[in-house]
Amino acid sequence: MIDILTVSTKRSALSAVIDFLSMQDDIRLLNAQCGAEALDAIGKNAVTLVIADEDLGDMTGLEFSRRLVAANPLVYCALVSSLPAEAFHEASEGLGVLAQLPVSAVGTDGEDLLAKLRYVIKLNQPVEQSS
């Protein structure tokens, strides 16, 4: 089971991605209303991925990502951002952000994100050695 935490002050901001992920048999969705609540939830749950909105009420998505990587660098993060791709890359460099999601994310953005997540999870699986 893959635990994914969504963080947004308004559920509608991530609704298409959440709807797609909720249809997956191996995904358990958790939700937080703000960055502080999300950081607390990460301390209490084995979260694999956090999807954070651009504005979390108590901090920006980028600030949340900085705090997340300091608290638990093994949790993947995807951020909603209105920044152009190059500016987002500069702003998020070193934060281990798995993906940038558009402000008006659709279901295919959720598909792409889940494909990336499954790929990096597979990369981190121990290699079986044959005898």
Q: Look up the pTM and report it.
A: 0.91
Contact 57, 26 (CB under 8 A): no
Whether 51 is in a domain gets the answer: yes
Res 130: pLDDT: 62
Whether 128 is in a domain gets the answer: no
Whether 130 is in a domain gets the answer: no
**Domain range for residue 39?**
2-123
The CA distance from 129 to 74, in Å, is 25
Instruction: Report the CATH number at residue 64.
Output: 3.40.50.2300
Residues of the chain with pLDDT under 70: 128-131
Angle between helices 61-71 and 85-92 (to 10 degrees): 40
Instruction: Look up tokens 């956090």; give the residue.
Output: 50
Distances (CA, A) of 46 to 17, 18, 98: 21, 19, 18
Q: pLDDT digits over 107-124, tens only?
A: 999 999 999 999 999 987
Give the torsion sign (CA, 82, 4, 18, 58).
negative
Structural domain count, the chain: 1
Whether 78 is in a domain gets the answer: yes
Whether 38 is in a domain gets the answer: yes
Whether 84 is in a domain gets the answer: yes
